[in-house]
Amino acid sequence: MNLLAKQEEKMIKNSQIPSEFYKMYSVKKGLRDVNGRGVLAGLTNISAIHSFDKEGNQIPGILEYRAYNIKDIVSDLRKENRFGFEEMTYLLLFGELPTASELEEFQTLLASRRTLPETFVRETILTNPSSDVINSMSRCLLALASYDEKSGDISIENVLKQSLDLIADFPLLAIYSYQSYIHYFKKESLYIHYPDAKLTTAENILRMLRPDCHYTDTEAKALDIALILHMEHGGGNNSTFTTHVVTSSGTDTYATIAAALSSLKGPKHGGANIKAAKMLENIKENISDFNNDVEIKKYLQRILNKEVFDQQGLIYGIGHAIYTVSDPRFEVFKTYVARLVKEKGLEKEFKLYEKIATLAPQVIAENRKTYKTISPNIDFYSGFVYEILGIPQELFTPLFAIARIVGWVAHRIEELINMNKIIRPAYESVLESKNYLKMEER
């Protein structure tokens, strides 16, 4: 260990790059310019995100799926009181909204694919439990490749079939992996519920997760909207960009999605809603009066000062890399959250969340010079909703994956259709040449 400690010091010393070099060579850290906008790395017609107008002025955030505004999509679903995950999956994959008959046929197709190979649950999931559900899902993905005789076939027809299988199977992989975890690591009872072909994805998730399989329509609709709002967010988010990069190498679908899962697992990406949920629990424990704006602001200030919570100086769920004035997903989700809160009798907690959503941007603006407006993002409410639904934190990021795989496979197919070059950006070497020393001279 002493040897490793010494080598670690060498490694850190010899791997550091002076921060001024990034400016000298015009390299954008995180592939973002000084205004926080992403460096253009590709083209897509799957979704669009807008937070600035043509003149560069900040505007309320807009999210479009295949050129349809997400607010219009959800408004239509709300008016007709229907589920939409499967319909939006169709839209993102095929680029057009389905007719009633096309949607019914597609729902039947997805339902028929919600199945795993015989003995797969017992031999792959239950006999190899993991305390990390995403790791378990990644292992399952690679294991599924061995059951696919055309696993390496990257024709559009075959990749589409594989994609539909994975979209249908992801809820099973996530929930069964979680059940395996709590059985072997927490010594809780093991129960495996099979999906119901007559139910939607959101309904099946709640049905398979709960011991009694029971859920309310309000619960299922709230989860359905959460899945819709998380399923796609442009080609530049870390896991989707990973999908493009790995796809460009010519590798198979299973390896590509496993890579995307690994990216999503990071706390700076898919794990953000867990941080937001834990922070808000911490605030509730330390605020005596949920109606006292002064007390709330003081505690938020202490979070920024790195005095409390995780001492990182971050108010999670507030601010976004792209959105400025508002995150449209947050605004859409809020309506469903309010309805769910009313059903559960949690108006007091919801009022606190609303206050924090208003006060936190003020506290941040008062303390930090920033070029853009700060507003709450989708993570601010998603963890809260999952907790209301009785979904454990170990499944927060897997739920994100269940939704985002739709975007991943849509972007994978887009990459296969339009590009024939491997993605290989340049890295400038800042090494200084040295004269080689023979062994006896060292």
Q: Where are the domains of the chain?
A: 61-267+391-418, 272-388
**Helix (H, G, I), strand (E, B), or coil: what is residue 344?**
helix
Chain centroid to CA 261: 9
Confidence check: pLDDT of 1 > 70: no
Confidence check: pLDDT of 187 > 70: yes
What distance in Å separates the CA atoms of residue 334 and residue 174, rounded to the nearest whole number? Answer: 26
Partnered with residue 64 across adjacent β-strands are: 48, 69
Confidence check: pLDDT of 37 > 80: no
Confidence check: pLDDT of 349 > 80: yes
Mean pLDDT confidence for 306-333: 94
What distance in Å separates the CA atoms of residue 243 and residue 245, rounded to the nearest whole number? Answer: 6
Sheet with 47-52, edge to edge strand ranges: 47-52, 58-65, 68-69
pLDDT band (50, 70, 90) for residue 325: very high
Which of residues 274 and 105 earns the better pLDDT score? 105
Residue 387: CB partners within 8 Å, gap ≥ 6? 277, 393
Which of residues 320 and 369 earns the better pLDDT score? 320
Mean pLDDT confidence for 408-417: 98
**Helix (H, G, I), strand (E, B), or coil: what is residue 226?**
helix
Which of residues 224 and 372 earns the better pLDDT score? 224
| CATH architecture of the domain covering 272-388 | Orthogonal Bundle (1.10)
pLDDT band (50, 70, 90) for residue 66: very high
Confidence check: pLDDT of 152 > 80: yes
**Helix (H, G, I), strand (E, B), or coil: what is residue 407?**
helix
Mean pLDDT confidence for 345-355: 93
pLDDT the model gives residue 35? 67
Q: Which CATH superfamily is domain 61-267+391-418 in?
A: Citrate Synthase, domain 1 (1.10.580.10)
State the DSSP string of 83-120: --HHHHHHHHHHSSPPPHHHHHHHHHHHHHT----TTH
Task: Kindly calculate the radius of gyration of the chain based on its CA atoms and give it in whole angstroms.
Answer: 23
What is residue 430's DSSP assignment?
Answer: -
Mean pLDDT confidence for 178-206: 96
pLDDT band (50, 70, 90) for residue 371: low
Confidence check: pLDDT of 272 > 90: no
Confidence check: pLDDT of 200 > 80: yes
Chain centroid to CA 138: 15
**Helix (H, G, I), strand (E, B), or coil: what is residue 369?**
coil
pLDDT the model gives residue 3? 79
* Residues 310, 311, 313: CA angle, nearest 5 degrees: 110
- What is the tens place of the pLDDT at every residue in 201-232? 999 999 999 999 999 999 999 999 999 999 99
**b/e code 160-171 from CB counts within 10 Å (16+ = b):** bbbbbbbbbbbb
Confidence check: pLDDT of 373 > 90: no
What distance in Å separates the CA atoms of residue 328 and residue 40, rounded to the nearest whole number? Answer: 23
What is residue 21's DSSP assignment?
Answer: H
What distance in Å separates the CA atoms of residue 275 and residue 361, rounded to the nearest whole number? Answer: 17
State the residue for tokens 């600035």: 52
Helices (H), 83-235: 85-94, 100-112, 120, 133-145, 156-185, 201-209, 217-230
